[in-house]
Structure 1
Amino acid sequence: MRAENGFLGGLLRFAALIFAAAILAAGPAAAQADDSQIELSEKRGKFTFSGWDGPEITVWTYVPEGIDRTAAPIVMVMHGVNRDGWRYRDEWIDNAKQGGFIVVAPEFSNGNFPRAAGYNLGAMFDEETGAPRPEALWSYSAIEPIFDEIVARLGGSQTHYTLYGHSAGSQFVHRFLFMKPETRARRYIAANAGWYTFADPAIAFPFGLGGTAATEEGLRLALAKDVLVLLGDQDTDPNHRSLNRSEGAMQQGPHRFARGVAFYEAARAYAAQRGWEFGWQIRRVPGVAHSNSGMAAGAVALIE
């Protein structure tokens, strides 16, 4: 009996060594690929995303019961300045049930993506030196790989997504559009941004595209995209506690609603001057001020 136990124990140890060697030979990329196949939880869920060159990102999800998860529309929801992806996910749940779509809310923590420079301004420049950072480390560069992992976890066939953002998330969305014009985002919904990067290379970043990697061809593509500038018609408080009152922002208008209209009109004029296609729309959500839940209710019919 002892000999038999010794033989079995040795066999098990040998098998464990072979398995460990296979894992080491496959390397970290294989481990990441295996992890990405973990099925996305039905209803509320979350996972840690590390499948890109930047820091880890917590991704909050919601998959409504009873939908075809392999084909349902996907909306990527970008949170505001409080970096509360879980709350943004939760405020979209009733809309997801109503619309039959999947909610994905990446959370760009202050620790890994500090201040506006690290999140809604894209982490494109070193804060101390002002030098350009590698594109692979921009916060904008996480979105497409997150989409790939979501589809893998769903076992899905989705080929595109809607990108929605509110407040600082809206800033993320419209700058992502300019800096990453060739992505699988089919529709961009920019809701109630506090201030904007205008579609104009003659204006220095962050109030325009001057000094960035944006190209004329990229700008032409961005202006032709399906973009909805979504504005709460009551988001008109010129003294809101988080409103940017810098000189550059104040030149865009006294409050968020006015700045959104100015942003849209400037983009339309820029496209018209060059004879380019212009695919943007502006929509007002009646009775809503600076509220993600209010804007989400106004956006539910716009998810594709």
Structure 2
Amino acid sequence: MVKALHVVRHPTGFYSAGATTLFASKFDQRFSYCLYVPSAHDQDGPALPLVVLQHGTARRGPQYRDNFAEWAERHGCLVLAPLFPAGIGDPDDLHNFKFLRYGDIRFDEVLLAMADEVGERFNVDTRRFLLHGFSGGGQFVHRFAYLHPDRLAGLSIGAPGRITSIDYDSPWWIGLKGFEEEFGCAPRVSELRDVPVHMVVGSADVETWEINNQGDANWMDGADAYGVTRVERLRALRDNFEAHGISVRLDVVPGVGHEPMRVLEPVKDFFASILSRRESPATTSG
């Protein structure tokens, strides 16, 4: 009989390596996050890059994290997946985080606080991170970018049902009119030109029942001005960004509907391309 090897595991450290448990944020304990900490993590080694995966309406943060686990091991990245629960304040509310501000909550600030907390516990570079969100998460991340381009190493916007264009004549959140009154600062569009931007959507993501819901809390007149499907709206956002000098890589995944886990391969490829540019040694002539 072969005797099984006994693996010694630390009773708390076990849950802070690999796919972690959920941690409440010190900044605001209504919100939490989980991580993937790769085996490359070393408190005395080089700081790891940070990838943030922002969930959508279904709050599938741990699923995004698990999907990225193998990739995170291969590329030596730490993954952060926030959880912004539904029903805060209003038990029927599903959309609180998508527009960044909800009552006295600033979800962009909650996310930045989570990143800083992770940086305090792990050897990870939080100064600039890679950020992806799909659907409601796609709404969140492109609005986040108008406020915090200086914190982004790369931005991936997945299939947002409602877009905020760089349009200073249309009201927030259709456009950017009133942005400064809402957030206390002007949108930082010029700085976004220095951030690699990716957009991704499935070619069959054409159902409209959720995104043309006139009269609901997450609707504004004009939300359908740039198309009725997510594909049309994302192409319009790409065109809008490029008209303002922001280069965009757009991936339309053939045959895929509104399925977040089936559009992640282009996201991983985009992030890997950014990491490879960071890691490439500077070329010299002489």
Question: Structure 2 CA distance, aligned partners of 1:197 and 1:65?
Answer: 39
1:264 partnered with 2:238: yes
- SS of the aligned residue for 1:119 comes to coil
Shift of 1:148: 1.5
Unaligned runs of 5+ in 2: 1-12, 215-220, 276-286
Residue matched to 2:222: 248
Shift of 1:39: 9.4
Question: Structure 1 CA distance, aligned partners of 2:250 and 2:155?
Answer: 12
1:185 partnered with 2:152: yes
Residues 2-151 of structure 1 aligned to structure 2 (within 5 Å): 41-52=16-27, 54-66=28-40, 70-112=46-88, 115=93, 118-123=96-101, 126=103, 133=104, 137-151=105-119
Q: Deviations over 1:125-184 (max 9, x none)?
A: x4xxxxxx5xxx3111112221111122113455321011011001000000113333x2
Shift of 1:96: 2.5
Shift of 1:106: 0.4
1:199 partnered with 2:166: yes
Checking the alignment, whether the CA contact within 8 Å between 1:181 and 1:218 is kept in structure 2 is yes
Question: Structure 1 CA distance, aligned partners of 2:87 and 2:222?
Answer: 27
Residue matched to 1:229: 199
Residue matched to 1:130: none
- SS of the aligned residue for 1:262 comes to helix
- SS of the aligned residue for 2:52 comes to strand
Larger radius of gyration: 1
Q: Deviations over 1:167-214 (max 9, x none)?
A: 1001000000113333x2211111111120111121111111112227
Residue matched to 2:135: 167
Checking the alignment, whether the CA contact within 8 Å between 2:54 and 2:134 is kept in structure 1 is yes
Normalising by structure 2, report the TM-score: 0.76
Code of the aligned partner of 1:194: G
Question: Structure 2 CA distance, aligned partners of 1:147 and 1:39?
Answer: 21
- SS of the aligned residue for 2:190 comes to helix
- SS of the aligned residue for 1:249 comes to coil
Q: How many residues are paired up?
A: 247
Normalising by structure 1, report the TM-score: 0.72
Q: Which runs of 4+ in 1 moved over 6 A?
A: none
Code of the aligned partner of 1:144: L
Pairwise CA RMSD: 2.6
Code of the aligned partner of 1:165: G
Unaligned runs of 5+ in 1: 1-37, 127-132, 272-276
Checking the alignment, whether the CA contact within 8 Å between 1:232 and 1:295 is kept in structure 2 is yes
Structure with greater helix share of residues: 1
Q: Alpha carbons of 1:154 and 1:55: their partners in 2 closer, same or farther (altered >3 Å)?
A: closer
Question: Structure 2 CA distance, aligned partners of 1:157 and 1:85?
Answer: 21
Q: Alpha carbons of 1:289 and 1:255: their partners in 2 closer, same or farther (altered >3 Å)?
A: same
Shift of 1:294: 1.2
Q: Alpha carbons of 1:82 and 1:121: their partners in 2 closer, same or farther (altered >3 Å)?
A: same
Checking the alignment, whether the CA contact within 8 Å between 1:224 and 1:280 is kept in structure 2 is no
Q: Alpha carbons of 1:226 and 1:66: their partners in 2 closer, same or farther (altered >3 Å)?
A: closer
Question: Structure 2 CA distance, aligned partners of 1:186 and 1:297?
Answer: 18
Checking the alignment, whether the CA contact within 8 Å between 1:225 and 1:280 is kept in structure 2 is no
Residue matched to 1:287: 255
Code of the aligned partner of 2:62: W
